[in-house]
Amino acid sequence: MEQMQRVLIADDEEMMVRTMSMVLRSAGYLVETAQSGTEAFDVLMESEHSFDLLVTDIQMPRMTGDELIEELRRHNIDLPVLVITGFGTKELVIDLMRKGCTDYIDKPFTGNTLLERVRKAIEAGRQKDCRQASEHNERDYRAVVNRELERHRDELRNLRAQVESAVEAYGNLIAVNEYACTPCIAWRNRPLADLGGDFLGLRAAHGGCNMIVADVAGHDMGASYHSVLIKTLFEDNCKDGRDGQAFFQILNRALIETRSERMVTAVHLAFREETREVDIVSAAHPAIVRLPADGTAVQSIQAEGTVLGILDTVTHASKKVSLIQGDRLVMYTDGLSALCRIDGPTGDRQRLTSAGIERLVEKHRDKKLDAMVDAVWAEAITFGRNRFEDDTLLVAVEIPEVWHV
């Protein structure tokens, strides 16, 4: 710089003022400070020295930054102004430029960015008279607005591409290979949004197959990420020959390490042909509905277990259930039992509940497996007036005469 240039900083954040002062002074600027718009205005009116630039925050007590700019213009103080903003929306930028702001800088910013903006703002103020400066500001604020609009367009395009990619990945994720399952299987699912947290996994295992039904809290990109995590760990667990208890220990540790505090309920089933048994391990998931092939009443099977992703230490009991040809097991996520409607006469909010699902399963038990699932699904949706509040999944398996691997 050919001569010392004087800068006034107006900001009520002491650490911000101290940091900016140090950066500017180290670059050779003369710096004075004020802790409010009122104090800054008094300094400008009473100082023996003229200033080359005002650097002001927007949010300050007694007099805000934009009020300070208006006060300067009312007193014909033609001074370049660099505004510090917490966010640079189009509306804010337009308003500042119309009030005479030379430029703005978004928090957080680096020292180099501050020096560059200060240099440009001082140059703009020195090179133009009031009329030229006004014309410059008109062009400048339009350029800034266009720049901001283009930035938002780029961000929107990038976000849209990410969402589309995530939706495609989620579609691949929830695709089920029914041939990996020894029993016959039928299922219906509906994510609340394009991305969801309900997951059904099947994988052939020695002497049978393993199944996982999981419900991740939420129905966003984060939930779908956790579904990917569940799928990966489930497949690894099957390859290594570990049981459902070991799987839930590994999964809980992985969920805790993500630090997302996203709750997961799940049930793990290991079907074994030799013993004609299913080993059930539950992590606080809704009870399994069993339809005995002999026509006796439906049964509720619940294995005790801790929800996943919240506590460092979890426990999960294993329950073995003997099966015969024609036995059916029905699993679902709480998005199904939570379906609700408003009762006309009373105005009460009625939920389908687990008992309601058991009644529907009992009602349609004589149908073929796929038709039974269709009928239960259709009546549940009708009950809820086709209004979903969560991701929803319904799965049913039937033990065949001959198990195949």
d(CA 95, CA 376): 58
Q: Are residues 273 and 324 in the same domain?
A: yes
Per the structure, how many domains does the chain have? 2
Per-residue pLDDT, averaged over 263-291, amounts to 93
Lowest mean pLDDT among 95-99, 105-109, 171-175, 320-324: 171-175
Q: Is the pLDDT of residue 134 over 60?
A: no
Residue 218 in any domain: the answer is yes
Neighbours of 44 (CB within 10 A): 21
Cα three-residue angle 65-71-72, rounded to 5 degrees: 90
Q: Is the pLDDT of residue 133 over 50?
A: no
d(CA 400, CA 127): 87
Residue 167 in any domain: the answer is no
Residue 162 in any domain: the answer is no
Residue 170 in any domain: the answer is no
Amino acid (one-letter) located at 284: A
Tell me the pLDDT tens digit for each residue of 372-386: 999 999 999 999 988
16: domain CATH number is 3.40.50.2300
Which structural domain range is residue 323 located in? 176-398
pLDDT at 176: 65
Residue 159 in any domain: the answer is no
Tell me the pLDDT tens digit for each residue of 278-290: 999 999 999 999 9
Per-residue pLDDT, averaged over 312-322, amounts to 94
Nearest CA-CA partner of 394 in 369, 386, 30, 403:
369
Final residue belonging to a domain, choices 122, 153, 184: 153
Cα three-residue angle 171-177-183, rounded to 5 degrees: 135
Q: Are residues 354 and 299 in the same domain?
A: yes
Q: Is the pLDDT of residue 129 over 50?
A: no
Q: Are residues 260 and 371 in the same domain?
A: yes
Q: Are residues 29 and 106 in the same domain?
A: yes
Q: Are residues 185 and 121 in the same domain?
A: no
pLDDT at 11: 92
Per-residue pLDDT, averaged over 97-108, amounts to 83
Mean pLDDT of the chain: 85
Residue 204 in any domain: the answer is yes
Q: Are residues 112 and 180 in the same domain?
A: no
DSSP 62: S
Q: Is the pLDDT of residue 272 over 80?
A: yes
Q: Are residues 126 and 34 in the same domain?
A: yes
Higher pLDDT, 197 or 202: 202
Residue 120 in any domain: the answer is yes
Q: Are residues 201 and 147 in the same domain?
A: no
Q: Which H or E run contains 291? A: strand 288-291
Per-residue pLDDT, averaged over 195-220, amounts to 84
Per-residue pLDDT, averaged over 199-216, amounts to 89
Q: Are residues 202 and 148 in the same domain?
A: no
Final residue belonging to a domain, choices 90, 118, 153: 153
Confidence band of 207 (pLDDT split at 50, 70, 90): confident
Q: Is the pLDDT of residue 25 over 80?
A: yes
Sheet holding 81-85, edge to edge: 30-34, 6-10, 53-57, 81-85, 103-106
347: domain CATH number is 3.60.40.10
Per-residue pLDDT, averaged over 176-201, amounts to 77
Q: Are residues 43 and 95 in the same domain?
A: yes
Q: Is the pLDDT of residue 156 over 80?
A: no
Higher pLDDT, 74 or 177: 74
DSSP 227: H
Lowest mean pLDDT among 37-51, 77-91, 226-240, 306-320: 77-91
Q: Are residues 204 and 326 in the same domain?
A: yes
Q: Are residues 236 and 317 in the same domain?
A: yes
Nearest CA-CA partner of 216 in 330, 384, 314, 334:
334
d(CA 207, CA 228): 26
Residue 206 in any domain: the answer is yes
